[in-house]
Amino acid sequence: MSRIISTPLKITDVHTTLLTGPCTNDPFIREARKLRSAAFIEILTDGPHTGIGETYAGYFCPEAVPAIVEFFKPILIGQTVDDIPELWRRMYQCGNFWCRVGLGASVINGIEAALWDLKGKLLGQPVHALLGGCQHTRLPCYATGGPANYPKDRLAKKIDHYFSLGFRGLKVATGSRTPDAGWFTPMTPAAAADFEADKLDFMRKHAGPEAWLMLDGHMGNSPGQTWTVEIAIAAAKAVEPFNLVFFEEPLHYTDPWGYAELCRATTTPIAGGECLTASYEWKVFVSQDCFDIGQPDASFTGGIGEFMAVAKMMEERGRKIATHAWGAGASLMQNIHAGFAAPNTCMLEVAPDYAGLHSDLIDGGLVMKDGYMLPPDRPGWGVVLTDEIKRRYPFKPGSGEFNSVPGKILRD
């Protein structure tokens, strides 16, 4: 009697798709940013399934991603998804001299995410179920709002807009942005304390005592106006009365010692980590208790396994995590799944009122109810990347976001 032997699907190709589309439908964020780029890695097999992953590096330097994917591609051809951690280890070791942290690790993140998506599709399970199981029945989420749009009546309309979409919380940047004058950042301790306290007093009164409010310093990527520890402490202490969920990125990531000092100096929870890649880099910050709340990004940190390792490191220090997610649709779903798989997740970041590079890719599995996200139930990440989507959002070279400096100015 003959018997049928099931042969595991093998990887036959790996390639990158770069796209450019509207950054968002959000009228308040569109004042600052109109286009976004994105980089997706697709893993093809000798069967009907394709794995899809995103690297957040595609938002900043998309042109660099395809070459790095091609570098790692031979490691994957002919392999299965039976042992994803081993495939990640091979890629990471192959880039030992140049991807322990940074761009290489971020691109590996997108490749590994595609492997997990493929495995989830093959098994008919959402990825969070493959990472040890879903740890939450629901998770609070907030609208990531970009700038603090001024004047204050504009900021009030921004709050109302997000709450009309079903959110119960939002995050805005320090300082302000007005259509005529652009960005303003207070740059002395007294000015920062006065400005941020006045803004949060207004927001708390308008949003109400139960709203989840967050502040983002964006100091990890500021080219010229980066706060000192003294300014950050003054601002953080000034907003203590307003019960923030967290104050994100009030210092540059070249100063873990400053972050540790800041955490000790204020009762405002300090959050950060979106720019950190690989558990190797995270250890420097976690070991010094630099963050009350860590913000790993499951499309940038270095891999889903690395995200889970960071979450565990934070948990062992008695700290929480809040996912960072400002990539496109696959990046968002990677972070939602990883957030549900980590037991110490306290908050999920969600791009509100998003445009096509989110809505066209997310396959109906993103469900928010009463300000809380529910666990996704689609196999894999629950994203699609069709030929029609690729035609709809052709890549525009130079559309990655970067900090404008002389000789390289972003104009979109």
The pair phi, psi for residue 20, each rounded to 5°, is -135, 135
Whether residues 255 and 340 share a domain: the answer is yes
Q: Are residues 108 and 134 in the same domain?
A: no
Instruction: Tell me if 363 is assigned to some domain.
Output: yes
Q: How confident is the model at residue 249 (pLDDT cuts 50, 70, 90)?
A: very high
Distance of alpha carbon 273 from its chain centroid, rounded? 10
- Which residues have a Cβ under 8 Å from the Cβ of 174 and sit 6 or more positions away? 148, 185, 186, 192, 195, 196, 215, 216, 217, 218, 235, 250
Verify that 82 and 210 share a domain, yes or no: no
Range of 222's domain? 129-381
- 119 in Cβ contact with 84 (< 8 Å): yes
Q: Is residue 4 part of a domain?
A: no
CA distances for 186 relative to 51, 64, 177, 217, 227, angstroms? 45, 35, 12, 11, 9
Region 24-42: mean pLDDT is 94
Does residue 276 have a pLDDT over 50? yes
CA distance 372 to 263: 28
pLDDT the model gives residue 3: 42
Would 412 be classed as within a structural domain?
Answer: no
Same domain, 185 and 114: no
Residues 100, 183: one domain? no
Q: Picking from 25-34, 138-147, 168-177, 306-315, which range would have the lowest pLDDT averaged per residue? A: 25-34
pTM of the model: 0.96
Q: What is the mean pLDDT of residues 366-380?
A: 97
What number is the average pLDDT over the span 235-258? 97
Give 63: exposed, middle or buried? Use CB within 10 Å, 0-12, 13-18, 19+.
Answer: middle
Give the Cα separation of 58 and 329 in Å (integer): 12
- CA–CA distances in Å: residue 309 to residues 49, 219, 280, 286, 295: 28, 25, 10, 12, 13
Asked whether residue 399 is domain-assigned, the answer is: no
Task: Work out the average pLDDT over 390-397.
Answer: 96
| Residue 376 counted as domain residue | yes
Q: What distance in Å separates the CA atoms of residue 192 and residue 258, rounded to the nearest whole number?
A: 17
Assigned domain for 3 exists: no
Q: What is the DSSP string of 14-79?
A: EEEEEEEEES-S-TTTTTT--EEEEEEEEEEESSS-EEEEEEGGGGT-GGGHHHHHHHHHHHHTT-
Contacts of 16 (CB under 8 A, 6+ apart): 39, 40, 41, 42, 65, 66, 69
Is the model's pLDDT at 2 over the cut of 60?
no
Q: What is the pLDDT of residue 347?
A: 98
Residues 146 and 83 reside in one and the same domain = no
Alpha helices in 95-176 (DSSP H): 103-123, 127-130, 152-164
Average pLDDT over residues 377-391: 98
3-state secondary structure of 146: coil
What are the C-alpha distances in Å from 387 to residues 19, 23, 326, 390, 394? Answer: 12, 20, 24, 5, 11
**pLDDT > 80? residue 6:** no
Cα separation values, 370 from 40, 137, 142, 210, 234, Å: 31, 13, 11, 13, 34
- 267 and 309 in a single domain? The answer is yes
- CATH, residue 222: 3.20.20.120
Same domain, 236 and 332: yes
Instruction: Give the domain CATH number at 48.
Output: 3.30.390.10
Does residue 58 form part of some domain? Answer: yes
Confidence of residue 228 (pLDDT cuts 50, 70, 90): very high
Amino acid identity at 65: V
Same-domain check for residues 137 and 17: no
Q: Please, which pLDDT band fits residue 7 given cuts at 50, 70 and 90?
A: low
> Phi and psi of 159, rounded to 5°?
-60, -45
> Residue 361 CB: number of other CB atoms within 10 A?
27
Kindly tell me if the per-residue pLDDT of 154 is higher than 60.
yes
Q: Quick one: how far is CA 80 from the chain centroid?
A: 28
In this structure, is residue 400 part of a structural domain?
Answer: no
Q: pLDDT at position 70, please?
A: 98
Percentage, residues of the chain above pLDDT 90: 89
Same domain, 113 and 213: no
Residue 376 in this model has a pLDDT that exceeds 70: yes
Tokens of 366: 């993103």
Q: What percent of the chain clears pLDDT 70, i.e. is strictly above it?
A: 96
- The tokens of 167 are what? 């959110």
Q: Do 225 and 114 belong to one domain?
A: no
Binned at pLDDT 50, 70 and 90, residue 401 comes out as confident
Number of domains in the chain: 2
Q: Look at residue 404 and tell me whether its pLDDT is greater than 70.
A: no
Phi, psi of 44 (to 5 degrees): -95, 155
How does the average pLDDT of the chain come out, rounded? 94
pLDDT at 223: 62
Which residues lie below 8 Å from residue 67, measured CB to CB, with a gap of 6+? none
pLDDT of residue 409: 67
Cβ contact 302:111 at 8 Å: no
47 and 69 share one domain: yes
Q: Range with the lowest mean pLDDT among 50-54, 107-111, 167-171, 217-221?
A: 217-221
Does the pLDDT at position 133 exceed 50?
A: yes
**Quick check: helix, strand or coil at residue 98?**
coil
Task: State the amino acid at position 254 in one-letter form.
Answer: T
